[in-house]
Amino acid sequence: MKQWNWRLISTHAILIVGVCFMSLPVWVAFATSTHSAEHILRNGLQFWPGSDFVETYRQVLFVDGGVMKSVLGTTMLKNSLILGIGFAVGKVIISMLAAYAIVYFRFKLAVPLFWVIFMTLLLPLEVRIIPSYEVVAGLGLLDTHVGLIVPLIASATGTFFFRQFFRSVPDELLEAARLDGATAWGFFKDILVPLSKTMIAAILIIMFVVGWNQYLWPLIMTTKEENYTLVIGIKQIYQILAEGGELPQYQKAFALTILATLPPVLVVLVFQNWFVKGLVESEK
Amino acid sequence: MSKVQLSNVIKTYPNGAEAVRGVDMEIQSGEFIVFVGPSGCGKSTLLRMIAGLEKITDGQIHIDDGLINDVSPADRDVAMVFQNYALYPHMTVRGNMSYGLKNRGMPKSEIDKKVTDAAEMLRIGDFLDRQPNQLSGGQRQRVAMGRAIVREPKVFLFDEPLSNLDAKLRVQMRIEIKRLQRRMNVTSIYVTHDQTEAMTLADRLAVINDGKIEQMGAPIDLYNNPETLFVASFIGSPQVNLLPVTFDGQHLVNGNLKLAGFSDLPNSKELVLGIRPDELSLDDNGQFPLRVDIVEQHGSDNLIYGGILGATDDGVEEMEFCFKTSQDMLPDLDSTLTLGFNAERAMVFDKTTGDRLR
Ligand SMILES: Nc1ncnc2c1ncn2[C@@H]1O[C@H](COP(=O)(O)OP(=O)(O)OP(=O)(O)O)[C@@H](O)[C@H]1O
Ligand SMILES: [Mg+2]
């Protein structure tokens, strides 16, 4: 009994330390963001919330020149949302269609093509970033949402997940649908898509977070402030801090950081159930 | 109501498996045909070729007068009931039943009427708004049938539709399928390896062995007059008793046994004598001494299993026989019964070719 208690205590202690380790920086960032710039400059990082919460966040979100030279926090939030959602939706659509072709159409190159797609998993965006930039620039899509999203949406991971899922769908469903007069498109939209609902939800969520956190590509792609995403905004504001100059606006930098972490957290919290279901569900 | 005609149909799978090796068959309008045979004999393959789910390697299939070799499954106007039902899991019962009609562009009001009628007929009217996972096996089976019925196809195809049900439900559904088919009078082809199902459902039965039709005919004809050893041993439950014998001019001989009453059989060949368990009878002058091994009481009748003393087959002494008798016959275990048989009704086969000799 005693030994068991010890175990319980030690495992909990480790977990608690872990939780603190992970969440303390976030808390400090939040607490600091609620103090005034002078206070921070004089006293350093803050562990308890101050009185400037409303003022700081109002400045960051709604005041022209409050955080960047011109762009508002809300605009960056909007850009990030567009990137996150467009990225996730685009990836799901492209990878479902690719997986559908690979699993259900017996063309000769299906297997090699799948492995080619699969191998691109090994090549991160960074490897092809120069050619991608060239192409997008050539198309005149720099500083546009389309140019930002499209080069990112091809997805080996998504294709792989959907392929595995489609292969687990019984063949008889396809056969029944064929006898029922369903076309290739009809089978996809009436049967496969509804069956993949939870899977789609899970991938949407993961990909939203990944898209939201995209850094290098948006950094290269966007030159105008009005196209900044939150992540780029953070990068810029810390750069300004590092360069020095007038009174450093640490609280605004921290506020922007907190704002950037909120939406992914909210998405995961709200859709947690779907997310788990999509990843573990096997019974169709 | 449609005829189906198969001419020299052959199926070779890409991996070289010869699943169907030349099948000819003519199915009349409204007929209920059952394909029966051991596992792997090609029943499903044949059915799936008629459905259009497998390509036909060679030969021709006609429905009515149209050649359908290259017609897509949807345009063949056939409906199929699968072993695992293959219901669309995310659609309601109504959705499942109407999907095929919707794809054919039928107006909604007409679809509703057909679905309601079919559901009525199958007694699933109360479940129309449920999803398949909220139904029992038997109910799912009915929905699968309903999905086929609403289409009013030219041909119904069934691939072992009852094998996932428990024994009692299977009997019920079997009767129901037969009743429905009578009522709708749609040409039907039914695959099973359950010979009771085969015997009871079929207007005509095709016994398939190794990709070929062994014999086709009314179930009772196949039982009474099997043309080959395979058909004799496949049809009939309990199985026919088989005894390897040779002919010495007057008798069939095996070990100490000499069975009289046979003539006009080849002397030199190895033969097989087949006697149905219910053709045996207690007879003090009989030729078969049966040492009782097991007595199975089935209610109205008993099955007595045991070895025939003095009969051998390749070193096996005491060939096992089954004797079907009435419920009041309860011999002691290890006692010996003397059984006789009617030579007129016994069957003799050529052991090597399997052909029936008399
Ligand atoms: N897709 C396939 N590719 C290769 N060979 C196949 C394929 N499907 C079936 N076969 C082979 O064809 C033969 C006939 O198969 P089929 O499914 O028609 O048998 P069956 O009579 O329906 O058997 P069961 O009663 O077990 O369902 C078998 O030997 C099987 O191994
Ligand atoms: Mg089969």
pLDDT computed for residue A46 by the predictor: 84
The answer for residues whose C-beta is within 8 angstroms of residue B274's C-beta and 6 or more apart is B229, B232, B233, B240, B241, B242, B243, B346, B347, B348, B349
Whether the pLDDT of residue B313 is over 80: the answer is no
**Residue A190 contacts residue B99 (beta carbons within 8 Å):** yes
Instruction: Say yes or no: B157 and B276 in one domain.
Output: no
B254-261 CB contacts, 8 Å cutoff, 24+ apart? B254/B311, B254/B312, B254/B313, B254/B319, B255/B310, B255/B311, B255/B312, B256/B309, B256/B310, B256/B311, B257/B287, B257/B288, B257/B308, B257/B310, B257/B311, B258/B287, B259/B287, B259/B343, B260/B287, B260/B343, B261/B343, B261/B344
pLDDT computed for residue A275 by the predictor: 72
**The CATH number of the domain where A145 resides is what?**
1.10.3720.10
pLDDT computed for residue A277 by the predictor: 73
Which one has a higher pLDDT value, A65 or B68?
Answer: B68
Give the integer Cα–Cα distance in Å for A206 and A163: 17
**Residue B29 contacts residue B214 (beta carbons within 8 Å):** no
Q: What are phi and psi of B12, to 5 degrees?
A: -120, 120
Q: Taken in order B104, B108, B109, B115, is the CA torsion positive or negative?
A: positive
The answer for residues whose C-beta is within 8 angstroms of residue B187's C-beta and 6 or more apart is B1, B2, B3, B4, B27, B28, B29, B30, B31, B33, B154, B155, B156
Nearest CA in chain A to B104: A181
Instruction: Say yes or no: B217 and B275 in one domain.
Output: no
**Residue B341 contacts residue B279 (beta carbons within 8 Å):** yes
Domain boundary among B229, B261, B282: B229
pLDDT tens figures, B224-272: 999 999 999 999 889 999 999 999 888 899 888 889 888 888 988 899 9
Average pLDDT over residues A270-280: 75
Residue B357: inside a domain: no
For ligand 1, atom 22, which residue shows the shortest CA distance?
A: B44
Instruction: Say yes or no: B95 and B184 in one domain.
Output: yes
Nearest to A95 by CA among A184, A162, A146: A162
Average pLDDT over residues A12-22: 93
Q: A178 and B74 in contact by Cβ < 8 A?
A: yes
- Helix A53-62 / helix A2-33 crossing angle, nearest 10 deg: 60
Give rounded-to-5 percent helix, strand, coil for chain A. Answer: 75, 0, 25
Q: How confident is residue B57, by pLDDT bands cut at 50, 70 and 90? A: very high
pLDDT computed for residue A157 by the predictor: 85
Smallest Cβ distance to A178: which of B73, B82, B89?
B73
Whether the pLDDT of residue A196 is over 50: the answer is yes
Give the integer Cα–Cα distance in Å for A212 and A261: 9
* Number of folded domains that form chain B: 2
Residue B64: inside a domain: yes
Most confidently predicted of A73-82, A174-183, A243-252:
A174-183
The answer for residues whose C-beta is within 8 angstroms of residue B294's C-beta and 6 or more apart is B304, B305, B306, B333
pLDDT tens figures, B143-191: 999 999 999 999 999 999 999 899 899 999 999 999 999 999 999 999 9
Whether the pLDDT of residue B318 is over 90: the answer is no
Instruction: Say yes or no: B91 and B149 in one domain.
Output: yes
Q: Which residues of A touch B87 (CB under 8 A)?
A: 176
- Characterize the bridge pairing of strands B187-192 and B32-36: parallel
Residue B129: inside a domain: yes
pLDDT tens figures, A201-239: 888 888 999 998 888 888 888 888 888 888 888 888 888
Q: Taken in order B74, B79, B82, B85, is the CA torsion positive or negative?
A: positive
Burial of residue B144, with CB atoms counted within 10 A of its CB: 0-12 exposed, 13-18 middle, 19 or more buried? buried
Instruction: Say yes or no: B247 and B213 in one domain.
Output: no
Q: Which residues of B touch A177 (CB under 8 A)?
A: 88, 99
Q: How confident is residue A253, by pLDDT bands cut at 50, 70 and 90? A: confident
Average pLDDT over residues B311-338: 87
Instruction: Work out the percent of chain B whose per-residue pLDDT is above 90.
Output: 79
**Residue B305 contacts residue B293 (beta carbons within 8 Å):** yes
**Residue A162 contacts residue A96 (beta carbons within 8 Å):** yes
Instruction: Say yes or no: B218 and B243 in one domain.
Output: no
**Residue B325 contacts residue B301 (beta carbons within 8 Å):** yes
Give the integer Cα–Cα distance in Å for A220 and A223: 8
Instruction: Say yes or no: B120 and B207 in one domain.
Output: yes
Instruction: Say yes or no: B216 and B149 in one domain.
Output: yes
Domain extent for A15: 2-282
Residue B148: inside a domain: yes
Average pLDDT value over all residues in chain A: 85
Nearest CA in chain B to A193: B90
Nearest to A217 by CA among A121, A83, A93: A83
Average pLDDT over residues A79-91: 92
Q: How confident is residue A279, by pLDDT bands cut at 50, 70 and 90? A: low
Query: Is B147 in CB contact (< 8 Å) with chain A?
Result: yes
Domain boundary among B229, B251, B272: B229
pLDDT computed for residue A40 by the predictor: 85
Residue B45 CA, closest ligand 1 atom number: 18
pLDDT computed for residue A229 by the predictor: 86
pLDDT computed for residue B88 by the predictor: 94
Q: How confident is residue A283, by pLDDT bands cut at 50, 70 and 90? A: very low
* Number of folded domains that form chain A: 1
Instruction: Say yes or no: B94 and B74 in one domain.
Output: yes
Whether the pLDDT of residue A244 is over 70: the answer is no
Q: How many A-B residue pairs are in contact by the CB < 8 A criterion? A: 60
For ligand 1, atom 1, which residue shows the shortest CA distance?
A: B13
Domain extent for B17: 4-229
**The CATH number of the domain where B64 resides is what?**
3.40.50.300
What lines the ligand 1 site, CB under 6 Å? B 13, 15, 17, 19, 37, 39-45, 193
Domain boundary among B208, B229, B250: B229
Give the integer Cα–Cα distance in Å for B181 and B162: 15
Whether the pLDDT of residue A284 is over 60: the answer is no
Instruction: Say yes or no: B319 and B180 in one domain.
Output: no
Which one has a higher pLDDT value, B335 or A126?
Answer: B335
For the stretch B276-297, what's the b/e string if a residue is b when 16 or more beta carbons lie within 10 angstroms of its beta carbon?
bbebbeeeeeebbbbebeebee
Instruction: Say yes or no: B199 and B288 in one domain.
Output: no
Average pLDDT over residues B76-80: 94
pLDDT computed for residue A3 by the predictor: 64
Distance from CA of A171 to the nearest CA of B (A): 9
Whether the pLDDT of residue B55 is over 70: the answer is yes
Q: A173 and B147 in contact by Cβ < 8 A?
A: no
Tell me: ipTM over 0.90.
Answer: no
Instruction: Say yes or no: B225 and B248 in one domain.
Output: no
pLDDT tens figures, A22-68: 999 999 999 988 988 888 888 888 888 888 888 888 888 887 776 77
Average pLDDT over residues A59-83: 82
Give the integer Cα–Cα distance in Å for A12 and A8: 6
